Amino acid sequence: MMMKLACCSLVACAALCAQSGVEGTWQGTLDVGAIKLRLGLHVSKNAEGELSSTLDSIDQSAMGIPVKVTTFRDNALHLELPALHASYDGKLSDGGQEITGTFVQGVPLPLVFKRVEKLESLNRPQNPKPPYPYDAQDVAYETKGGIKLAGTLTLPRGPGPFPAAIMITGSGPQDRDESLLGHKPFLVIADYLTRRGIAILRLDDRGMGGSTGNSTRETLDDMAGDVVTGVDYLKGRKEIDAKHIGVIGHSEGGIVGPAAAVRSSDIAFVVMLAGTGVSGTDVLKLQGEAVIRASGGSDQDVAEQHAVHDMIFRVLRSEKDDKAAVEKMMAEWGQMKVNKSAPASDQAIRAQFTSVTSAEMRSFFFYDPAEALRKLKVPVLGLNGSRDLQVPPQQNLPPITAALAAAGNSDYTVSELPGLNHLFQKCNKCTVQEYAELEETFSPTALEIMGDWLVRHTRAQ
């Protein structure tokens, strides 16, 4: 009986202690519209009574993000994260179990943290775990412009030389695994294909991981040049069959791959995963509509989205100076009769307009991928998920097929895979928000289709 009373006293004390301060582990969900991000907060106090904290972005697998300033006075918590240009202000509840406040990163968003014993974790069963039946090497080389590109080369074991493929990431700064919302699709693909006898080179984009430079300052043509440099690097490796080096690109990478293959006769095959067949302006307009409708938006929401896109594209076509373009977009945005009830500051809107003036985005908007496809003679595999909202198959697969036929290409396969989204996950709601919720990283069916095609075209085992 005394032991039970003692235990009860300890539990009561622990609860009271926990409620009296902000130290501990907290979890909340940030609703950023297109996706929901689970955040973890760890607050601790040192011997001098000073508070410190770190932030985890669970769905992005970003752990231990440093918080530079942590203060707690009169039940009010204040956090500053200058590296993310973000801050948080919240109020601890009377019971000490919730912190209700606002997270600001350009746009102010409500965020409620709840006290937890342990943060939720991601389950990614497809992520490979060592020991691997192949070799993985960290590699690096330089482009002609002096940019260092770093990545991982996975090599099958046994007698070579082996066929090889360079993987090309989608838009925006990406690491070698194309990490997104806790998923690492390029890691999963590389593991599967290397086990089937194909060497895979996957690279950090410029400015990411071990690579130098800045990917947002690259045009699609620059990116194609980086791919050709990678092909030259592989040709110099004794383990690689120089006659069977190809490219595998996802999303924007599915545009860059064909462009590189037109420039280099050393590229023996092309795999397009959710690659586009029409201009970026056309893709983004239909993408915006598809995402809005999947989220329950109205015809008015779609019309307003189209109006904003048309304004952006018109300004970018007419104004080559980036700063002037942003000012024109801000001025036109101020006069547009669209729903502006969302709590976005002028600073946040300006940041979004600035992002679309980058060299990468300008070249993507106005590039016609069919031009390269009409010159492509090497074997091509084009795959797209039937539930892809970002690169809708009904818009892109027919022009890809038509362009390859116009090229006189005698060896191409273009397929729509049922039930898969833009990341080639078997989806349920098939919204962008669902990417992080799904445990599957890349459909085993899509992996097998790609693997079988590559084995047939590269003489891999």
Terminus-to-terminus CA distance in the chain, angstroms?
Answer: 69
Pull the structure tokens for residue 454.
């590559």
CA angle (331 as vertex; 301, 297 as ends), nearest 5: 5
Tens-digit pLDDT string for the chain (461 aa): 333 333 333 333 333 333 348 999 999 999 876 678 899 999 999 999 899 999 999 888 788 999 999 999 999 999 999 888 899 999 999 999 999 999 998 778 899 999 999 998 889 999 999 999 999 999 999 999 999 999 999 999 999 899 999 999 999 899 999 999 889 999 999 999 999 999 999 999 999 999 999 999 999 999 999 999 999 999 999 999 999 999 999 999 999 999 999 999 999 999 999 999 999 999 999 999 999 998 888 999 999 999 999 999 999 999 999 999 999 999 999 898 777 655 566 777 888 899 999 999 999 999 999 999 999 999 999 999 999 999 999 999 999 999 999 999 999 999 999 999 999 999 999 999 899 889 999 999 999 999 999 999 997 65
CATH architecture of the domain with range 23-115? Beta Barrel (2.40)
Give all strands of the β-sheet with 412-417 in edge-to-edge order.
134-142, 148-156, 199-203, 162-168, 240-250, 267-273, 380-385, 412-417
| 282, 306 contact by CB (below 8 A) | no
Strand partners, 414: 382
| 124, 183 contact by CB (below 8 A) | yes
Q: Cα–Cα distance between 284 and 108 in angstroms, integer?
A: 25
Q: What pLDDT, on the 0 to 100 scale, is given for residue 7?
A: 39
Q: What pLDDT, on the 0 to 100 scale, is given for residue 344?
A: 61
Pull the structure tokens for residue 12.
């009561």
Query: Burial, 300: exposed, middle or buried (Cβ in 10 Å; 0-12, 13-18, 19+)?
Result: exposed
**CATH 3.50.50.60 assigned to 134-279+367-458:** no
Q: What pLDDT, on the 0 to 100 scale, is given for residue 343?
A: 54
Give the position of tokens 């989806």: 427
Q: What pLDDT, on the 0 to 100 scale, is given for residue 88?
A: 97
Q: What are phi and psi of 371, to 5 degrees?
A: -60, -45
| 325, 273 contact by CB (below 8 A) | no
Rounded to two decimals, the pTM is 0.85
Q: Cα–Cα distance between 461 and 163 in angstroms, integer?
A: 10
Q: Cα–Cα distance between 454 and 269 in angstroms, integer?
A: 9
Listed residue (349, 147, 348, 168) closest to 260, CA to CA: 168
Pull the structure tokens for residue 182.
């806790």
Continuous segment of H or E residues that includes residue 249: strand 240-250
Pull the structure tokens for residue 431.
């919204």
Q: Cα–Cα distance between 131 and 133 in angstroms, integer?
A: 7
Query: Half-sphere exposure of residue 213, counting CA atoms within 13 Å on the CB side?
Result: 23
Domain-wise residue ranges, the chain: 23-115, 134-279+367-458, 281-362
Give the SS3 label for residue 319: coil
Query: Burial, 369: exposed, middle or buried (Cβ in 10 Å; 0-12, 13-18, 19+)?
Result: buried
408: left (phi over 0), alpha (psi -120 to 50) or beta: left
Q: What are phi and psi of 176, to 5 degrees?
A: -65, -20
Q: What pLDDT, on the 0 to 100 scale, is given for residue 236?
A: 96
Buried b / exposed e across 263-281, counting CB within 10 Å, b at 16+? Answer: bbebbbbbbbbbbbbbbbb
Give the SS3 label for residue 367: coil
Query: Burial, 152: exposed, middle or buried (Cβ in 10 Å; 0-12, 13-18, 19+)?
Result: buried
Q: Cα–Cα distance between 283 and 391 in angstroms, integer?
A: 6
CA angle (206 as vertex; 261, 382 as ends), nearest 5: 35
Q: Cα–Cα distance between 171 and 88 in angstroms, integer?
A: 29
